[in-house]
Amino acid sequence: MQNARGARNRSFTVGSLAAAAIAIALLPAGALAASDLTVRGSALQVHVTDADPGELVNLLSPEGKRIAGKLAGGLGGIVFRRVPAGKGYRVRDGAGELSGRVTVLSGKAKPKSTAIYDQALPAGGYGYVTTRDGTQLSLTVRLPGPVDGGPYPTVVEYAGYGYANPAGAESGISPIANLLGYAVVDVNMRGTGCSGGAFDFFERLQALDGYDVIETVARQPWVLRGKVGMFGISYGGISQLFVGATNPPSLSAITPLSVLDNTAKTLYPGGILNTGFALEWANDRVEDAKPANASDGQGWAWNRIQNGDQTCAENQELHTAATDLLTKIQNNRFYRPKTADPINPSKFVKRIKVPVYLACQWHDEQTGGHCPNLTDRFTGTKRRWFTYTNGFHTDSLDPETFNRLFDFMEIYMAQRRPEMPAFAKAAAGLFYQTAMGVSGVSLPPDPIRDEPSFEAAKAAFEKLPRVRVLFETGGVTPGHPVPAFEQGFKSLPVPGTKARSWFLGPDGSLRNKAAKQAGTDSFAWDKESRPGDNFPGTDTGAGDLWTATPGIDWQQPPRGKAATYVSEPLGANTTIIGAGSLEAWIRASVPDVDLQVSVTEVRPDSKETYVQSGYLRTSLRKLAKRKSTPLEPVLTLRKSDAAKLPKGKFTRIVVPLYYQGHVYRTGSRIRITIAPPAGDQPVWAFDETVPLGDANVSVAFSPKRRSRLVLPLVPGVAVPTGLPECPGLRGQGCRAFAG
């Protein structure tokens, strides 16, 4: 599954010389002017290398006016960002000497010339690809067979992890694609590993790099039909949304798995900083973007440098100019469109024109449960399919989802009748044991592969419902990534969805009608005594959280530290698919308070199943009125809309819930819990909640102050199975109910 390291031999030297020649040809006018500094125009940026560490370098406009000044990093690199496109930019070094003039490129996807794409990449093994601004990105080509056995259907896996590591892609899934007969080009984003440039989280330049990679790979002789797909999970899935929106002409299709719809919803759910996975992930990106050395950066890059990779060594110079991601996060806790919109896929996936297969989980412990918000936003392509299920981050590769993923790739990337290689199907059990920590799992039958021809398979696939919901994964065989049943729909929101309300009432009840008499409930907001992170393990990987029996310790909220409401037993199975909200009238003893609302199912057997949560910092309660409904509330999260709670008065708030696809069974009761943010969601944590000290929170209910839970009820869903095992549902905790 891993390529041997050092499979470069002479081709590496020849490839480096060719890449250098291309880079020189691409340099805008003036880049080779006599100067102690090397200056190069990029897309909306100017790059400077060969400065003295700590040297002050000023960027000058074409008219000679100073635009900005920066100090060179420890390796002599500087990046000036957000520079308008144009000709004639110069820099002045610390001695006052001027560089030659350079041209700053625009952020447009299509370059003026496609000559850059006539590069020869290695036909298997490690190398570099040169992008439109002359930056060299490290990559490893992983062929599924010998070079003369091609050409092969080809996919690109693209992220800031160590994908290009010749020993095997770090956190990548290229071995799966290889097993299915696909060539994989694993590419490190600029500013990471051995790639040149400086890192910033999904800046425009990363998307343009992806465009250049797709077009260059498509011209290689070992690529089938000159078309390239994208393949990847998590980081490697999210990147597809950004690159796909640039629409490279040679891109065949994308398969984003376990992604997010909006960076802000994972990083600041409801305006509250997620100090668990989200912040830790950002910190890891900071480490990966550092220049490679014995202790920081990506270790595989350091090893290559020690073994003589001069290109990798030279590419480290701009790594010191990486964006300070942690400071950027702290400075953008409010939603600032200029910063947040470019990293909000829900704003731009409408531009994607190629076929899309997307899969996500309602309970993804890393990206969160809001990915389904993208479903109705892919308006640029009619060929789009979505699969949603309960489960963890890796469940976008569960057997049912994987079957459909494979069919999609065969039809829209390989353009052939889907026929799973026998050895790949046989290896499925080993994969699920390794990746998910679950044994005894195999791939189910797939009717698409029973079709007699490519044309018939494609026609059958295109008749499949656009939205597929896998219900109760893990409910039949506890913890196994296999659903109890599934249902297909034309779209999401599901046609015919109804807003079903349950009203908060006296004695902790959820009622069909608002309370006739006014009343209040109170609880003590106590940051210190709330339940902690409910996953005490050390990792989210296989054998820890990713297993059939994860060690989740899901605790009841301490008595008096939360407000809880429970409905009467349901008279029929109640299917909820979508988001929803809690609308409540609250009063607090402090001007601002963070809240978490959790929805659970109290079963007839006195067990309680976790379903979903929502979050809100009450000062950020303002809704985008034109976009919000009770089933899809949208918070503005802008600083200008922030407002303290009025002292001593009840105020209406709406807490958006993340998505769920859950059947509440006959005889079960629905429960909501309002409390300080706690550990219902594994790996998510909230260590910077407000207030810092204790507080009292009251909830009001009356005919005029209707506090209610609103959920998207989908009628007519046939439920062929009984209550699932508990514990058993993947990603959903189970505990004894304490009424």
The DSSP secondary structure of 64-97, one letter per residue, reads S-EEEEEE--TTS-EEE-SPPSEEEEEEE-TTS-
Give me the mean pLDDT over the 108-122 stretch. 96
Token look-up 């514990």 returns 727
Q: Which of 518-522, 548-552, 614-618 is predicted most confidently?
A: 614-618
How much is the mean pLDDT over the chain?
A: 92
Tally of CB atoms within 10 A around 48: 27
How high is the pLDDT of residue 296?
77
Within 8 A by CB and 6+ apart from 646, the residues are none
Res. 590: pLDDT tops 80: yes
Rg of the Cα atoms in the chain: 27
How high is the pLDDT of residue 625?
87
Q: What burial class does residue 571 get, using C-beta atoms within 10 Å of its C-beta: 0-12 exposed, 13-18 middle, 19+ buried?
A: exposed
Q: What burial class does residue 416 get, using C-beta atoms within 10 Å of its C-beta: 0-12 exposed, 13-18 middle, 19+ buried?
A: middle
Res. 8: pLDDT tops 60: no
Closest CA to 600 of 662, 515, 656, 514: 662
Closest CA to 549 of 472, 474, 473: 474
Q: What is the DSSP string of 383-424?
A: -EEEEEESS-GGGGGSHHHHHHHHHHHIIIII-S-----HHH
How high is the pLDDT of residue 532?
62
Beta-bridge mates of residue 276: none
**Could you give the CA distance from residue 210 to residue 203 in angstroms, rounded to a whole number?**
12
How high is the pLDDT of residue 5?
25
Within 8 A by CB and 6+ apart from 289, the residues are 160, 191, 192, 198, 199, 297, 319, 322, 325
Question: What pLDDT band is residue 626 in, cutting at 50, 70 and 90?
Answer: confident
How high is the pLDDT of residue 461?
98
Encoded amino acid at 534, one letter: N
Question: What pLDDT band is residue 477 in, cutting at 50, 70 and 90?
Answer: very high
Q: What is the DSSP letter of 178?
A: H
pLDDT digits (tens, 9 = 90+) for 266-318: 999 999 999 999 999 999 999 999 999 988 789 999 999 999 999 999 999 99
Give the domains, in start order, of the chain with CATH numbers.
Answer: 29-104 (2.60.40.3080), 498-736 (2.60.120.260)
Res. 26: pLDDT tops 70: no
Q: What is the DSSP letter of 213?
A: H
Encoded amino acid at 526, one letter: D
Closest CA to 501 of 711, 671, 714: 711
How high is the pLDDT of residue 533?
62
Token pair listed for 654? 């709406």
Q: Are strands 581-588 and 708-713 parallel, antiparallel or unpaired?
A: antiparallel
Res. 78: pLDDT tops 70: yes
Q: What is the DSSP letter of 148?
A: G
* Sheet strand arrangement including 86-92: 66-71, 56-60, 86-92, 102-104
Q: What is the DSSP string of 604-649?
A: TTSEEEEEEEEEEEGGG--B-TTT-BTTB--B---GGG--PPPTTS
Closest CA to 269 of 635, 708, 660, 687: 635
Counting residues of the chain whose pLDDT is more than 90, the rounded percentage is 86
Question: What pLDDT band is residue 12 in, cutting at 50, 70 and 90?
Answer: very low
Question: What pLDDT band is residue 720 in, cutting at 50, 70 and 90?
Answer: very high
Axis-axis angle for helices 454-462, 399-409 (nearest 10): 120
pLDDT digits (tens, 9 = 90+) for 671-681: 999 999 987 88
Q: What is the DSSP letter of 682?
A: T
Cis before residue 175, ω within 30 degrees of 0? no
Res. 492: pLDDT tops 90: yes
Give me the mean pLDDT over the 71-100 stretch. 96
Give me the mean pLDDT over the 133-145 stretch. 98
Beta strands in 168-235 (DSSP E): 183-188, 223-233
Q: What is the DSSP letter of 135?
A: P
Question: What pLDDT band is residue 35 in, cutting at 50, 70 and 90?
Answer: low
Counting residues of the chain whose pLDDT is more than 70, the rounded percentage is 95
